[in-house]
Amino acid sequence: MPTPAFEWKEYEVSADMGGENLELLVAEAAPATVTVAIPNLSAFPSPLAKAEILLQSAAEVEHALMVQYLYAAYSLKTPGEVSDPAQKQALVETSETAWPQVLLSIAREEMGHLMTVQNLLLLLGLAPNFEREDFPPRKDLYPFKLHLEPLTRRSLAKYVVAEAATDATGIEDIIALSTESAGATINRVGVLYGMLGVVFTADGAVQSGASGDAGWDAIVRRLAAAAHQQAPPEAWHLHDEDFHPQVLSRQADPEDWQVGHLRVHRAADRVAAIQAIRDIGEQGEGPTTASELSHFARFLTTFRGGAGLPPFPEASESVTREVPTDPKVQDITDARTRR
């Protein structure tokens, strides 16, 4: 089957996903509907096929983001290489809020997300996927094209928007810069996980809220309302027989991955899978209210400044080394490293 281009389609859905705020909406004359954009998954007719392509894409996205964040982190200078006192403080690697540690810690957490996605693939009887992304990119599910590049305000803007909740406000200038930098609109990774929330939730359980978190469940309901206009509910929601709890012993063990805020989830059933997907969302890639530890919040603070640190400078060469973008083997001068 040819790989689809994943055209995004827009659907009008009710603005009231919870039901309890209907009187308030009417009283305030709020819009009755909102526009929700989701990828067209019509080429994948069964729920299991949709789960597979979404999980494969999620794995590739996590892998791609991880290596880009690592490259950006190692492009930064050490405190001894800069003269500005505030920038020196922002480059202290031992500080959790300093720029290098923000990038490194988020990259580690992406590894936890990557391993959790592998566990979810195994739970459905599917093969693990450790690809990054096809080149040239074939999926419009990716947030932006992969580039190994030094950290600049332009590249940082892409990271902020890719990790942003769908309802994030006050970042219009960053969105504009990210679009200019990428040459295209940045896709929010949270939509991908929200769609997984739809697929993993049983048919008929969307309205009642499967995860137990009101904010997350409201987003899943809104996405499901759009998805059900694209195809009937039976084409979207996994069946009980799609889950294979006997593979639990083959899944990555969380005990092997407990470093910092890195979290790996094992899942033996639908309930555990939904909790794992929601947890990834809450850590920074889902359309939920960002916490202080979210990827979005940390990247936004790095961009804007805060926690006693300055905004990331316009003149990025003052804090980053002169390293190539998308280096090739022939760019490596050290013979041992090149080999």
- Give the CB-side neighbour count of residue 306, counting CA atoms within 13 A: 10
Residue 49's pLDDT is 97
Q: Is 91 exposed, middle or buried (0-12, 13-18, 19+ CB in 10 A)?
A: buried
Q: What pLDDT is attached to residue 22?
A: 38
Average of per-residue pLDDT across 244-267: 89
Residue 18 CA from chain centroid, whole number: 25
pLDDT of 121:
98
Does 331 map to a domain? yes
**pLDDT attached to residue 248:** 95
Task: Identify the three-state secondary structure at position 135.
Answer: coil
C-alpha 248/C-alpha 265 separation (Å) is: 11
pLDDT tens string 47-90: 999 999 999 999 999 999 999 999 999 999 999 999 999 999 99
Q: Is 41 helix (H, G, I), strand (E, B) or coil?
A: coil
- Looking at the domain assignment, is residue 137 inside a domain? yes
Sorting pLDDT into bands at 50, 70 and 90, what band is 287?
Answer: low
Average pLDDT over residues 136-145: 72
Which pTM does this prediction carry? Answer: 0.89
Tokens encoding 5: 């281009």
In this prediction, residue 261 carries a pLDDT of 73
Within-domain flag for 3? no
CA gap 318, 167 in Å, rounded = 33
d(CA 299, CA 183): 20
Q: Quick one: pLDDT at residue 109?
A: 93
Q: 34 near 12, Cβ under 8 Å?
A: yes
Q: Which domain holds residue 223?
A: 8-338
Q: What is the mean pLDDT of residues 196-216?
A: 89
Please report whether residue 305 resides in a domain. yes
Instruction: Give the whole-angstrom CA distance, residue 234 versus residue 182.
Output: 37
Q: Does residue 2 lie in a domain region?
A: no
Domain count, the chain: 1
Residue 64 counted as domain residue: yes
- Tell me, yes or no, whether 1 lies in a domain: no
Element housing 215 (H / E): helix 214-230
Instruction: Count CB atoms within 10 A of the CB of residue 332.
Output: 13
Residue with tokens 């504009």: 176
Beta strands in the chain (DSSP E): 8-14, 33-39
Going by pLDDT thresholds of 50, 70 and 90, the confidence category of residue 20 is: very low
Averaged confidence pLDDT in the chain: 88
Summarize the confidence of residues 109-120 as an average pLDDT: 96
Provide the 3-class DSSP secondary structure of residue 321.
Answer: coil
CA distance 328 to 16: 51
Asked if the structure places residue 21 within a domain, the reply is: yes
Q: pLDDT tens digits for 1-16?
A: 345 567 889 999 988 7
In this structure, of 133-147, 238-252, 313-327, the range with the lowest mean pLDDT score is 133-147
Q: What is the DSSP string of 4-17?
A: P---EEEEEEES-S
Contact 171, 160 (CB under 8 A): yes
The pLDDT, as a whole number, for residue 27 is 47
